[in-house]
């Protein structure tokens, strides 16, 4: 046990997860008061809002990923371990990991969210999620491999499958990747594959409700819908996907679509770790917390971000968004640095607004009573995302790529580095 984390006279705070919340918390905790131990199964932080651009060839993964050790270079009493946590043993204040047991005085879970397939095995086994860098690279490879296959495929049925892409979920990720695919179809693929009739490529966006971007205003939703239709995306609102087997998506009531690319962005759930009582866990695999982010029934264990189901004034859980995670991390760090829990502040979320981009010069943004759309909203979206990326180099790389893509109408990073192979045993 001692070899995993150096012993110290300071109290130890272990943070699980190197996402937005985990990184912010680790930065702000006093290293004079605590030994801070950060655990993550990856050795890098991912800027998830731009994963869809990696998947569609606009950015390389190293421009939205940043080494955790580099973020905390020079920090005293900070330890990072690349580890996967299996379970929490609260009675002994121990974590079971693939490296062994790690003891804690305080524990903060910032594990974020994972794709929710709603217990549908067919979706889980056969669809393409988009929650991590490997997911984005897999999708990029699959898209490009399908176009390469089309050049030599003689079977009419197989060719038809490759000419249909189905995106399930009309939230920000679904809308953004559908728009990016539409731009690929218009500006890039006709040049790369002049032998193919790229105009026959069909991009389908399926949403079970009657509204895209459900969390945003009606005006923003209608604007996004208008933009996507203008870009040639086929919208299927009030439509449920009931199955995807043998590269055939069954839509109710729209019928079936044979497609070799089936992208799932329809839902997320908390990335839960074993060891918690059932009454502390919600149906969406989130942990119930009080207004201090302390998990119900556990005095020294906290949860922040997507995993934390904290109720707002309307008795609804805060949305699973990066700003929520960052603000909760700041408040929790302040409270823990005070040490005296009688002086702790309750969490109050400041809604900074929401945005989504559909394509070049096309975006929507809601800021309280102000709503923007079109090019101005697109510029706001670019600025906010650019400034949120970790690392000066990454900001420059992303900005240069965006400028190149904008003026050249090109997506330069169309490389099949790691060919994707579908699991044919399911």
Q: Encode the chain in three state secondary structure.
A: CCCCCCCCCCEEEEEECCCHHHHHHHHHCCCCCEEEEEEECCCEEECHHHHHHHHCCCCCHHHCEEEHHHHCCCCCCEEEEECCEEEEECCCCEEEECCEEEECCEEEECCCEEECCCCCHHHHHHCECCCCHHHHHHHHHHHHHHHHHHCCCCCHHHHHHHCEEEEECCCHHHHHHHHHHHHHHHHHHHHHCCCCCHHHCEEEEECCCCCCCCCCCHHHHHHHHHHHHHCCCEEECCCEEEEEECCEEEEECCEEEECCEEEECCCEEECCCECCCHHHECCCCCEEECCCCEECCCCCEEECHHHEECECCCCCECCCCHHHHHHHHHHHHHHHHHCCHHHCCCCCCCCCCEEEEEECCEEEEEECCEEEECHHHHHHHHHHHHHHCCCHHHHHHHHHHHHHHHHHCCCCCCCCCCCCCCCCCC
Concerning whether 84 is annotated as a catalytic residue, the answer is: no
Catalytic residue among 24, 60, 176, 207: 176
The Cα–Cα gap between 359 and 182 comes to 8
The Cα–Cα gap between 33 and 47 comes to 30
Q: Return the structure tokens found at 115.
A: 């794709």
Residue in 58, 81, 78 with CA at minimum distance from that of residue 12: 78
Strands of the 11-16 sheet, one edge to the other: 78-82, 34-40, 11-16, 106-109, 301-303
The Cα–Cα gap between 180 and 257 comes to 21
Catalytic residues, by residue number, are: 176
């Amino acid at each position: 046990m001692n070899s995993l984390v150096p012993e110290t006279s300071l109290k130890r705070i272990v943070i699980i997860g190197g996402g937005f919340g985990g990184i912010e918390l680790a930065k702000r905790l006093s290293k004079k008061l605590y030994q801070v131990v950060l655990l993550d199964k990856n050795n890098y932080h991912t800027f998830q809002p731009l994963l869809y651009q990696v998947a569609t060839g606009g950015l390389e993964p190293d421009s939205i990923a940043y080494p955790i050790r580099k973020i905390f270079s020079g920090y005293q009493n900070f330890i990072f371990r690349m580890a996967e946590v299996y379970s929490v043993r609260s009675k002994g204040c121990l974590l079971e990991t693939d490296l062994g047991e790690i003891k804690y005085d305080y524990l903060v879970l910032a594990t974020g969210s994972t794709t929710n397939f709603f217990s549908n095995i067919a979706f889980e086994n056969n669809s393409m999620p988009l929650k991590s860098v490997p997911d984005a690279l897999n999708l990029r490879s699959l898209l490009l491999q399908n176009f390469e296959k089309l050049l030599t495929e003689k079977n009419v049925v197989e060719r038809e499958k490759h000419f249909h892409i189905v995106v399930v979920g009309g939230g920000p990720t679904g809308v953004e990747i559908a728009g990016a695919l539409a731009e690929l179809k218009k500006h890039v693929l006709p040049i790369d594959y002049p032998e193919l009739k790229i105009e026959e490529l069909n991009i389908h966006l399926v949403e079970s409700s009657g509204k895209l971007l459900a969390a945003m205003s009606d005006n923003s939703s209608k604007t996004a819908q208008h933009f996507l239709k203008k870009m040639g995306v086929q919208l299927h609102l009030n439509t449920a996907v009931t199955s995807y087997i043998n590269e055939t998506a069954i839509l109710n009531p729209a019928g079936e679509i044979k497609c070799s690319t089936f992208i799932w962005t329809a839902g997320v759930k908390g990335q839960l770790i074993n060891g918690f009582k059932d009454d502390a866990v919600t149906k969406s695999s989130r942990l119930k917390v009080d207004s201090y982010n302390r998990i119900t029934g556990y005095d020294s264990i906290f949860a922040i971000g997507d995993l934390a189901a904290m109720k707002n004034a309307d008795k609804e859980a805060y949305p699973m968004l990066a700003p929520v995670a960052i603000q909760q991390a700041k408040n929790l760090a302040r409270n823990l640095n005070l040490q005296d829990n009688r002086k702790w502040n309750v969490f109050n979320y400041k809604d900074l607004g929401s945005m989504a981009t559909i394509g070049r010069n096309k975006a929507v943004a809601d800021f309280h009573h102000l709503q923007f759309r079109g090019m101005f909203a697109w510029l706001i979206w670019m600025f906010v995302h650019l400034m949120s990326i970790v690392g000066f180099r990454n900001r420059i790389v992303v900005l240069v790529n965006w400028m190149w893509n904008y003026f050249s109408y090109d997506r330069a990073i169309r490389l099949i580095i790691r060919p994707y192979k579908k699991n044919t045993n399911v």
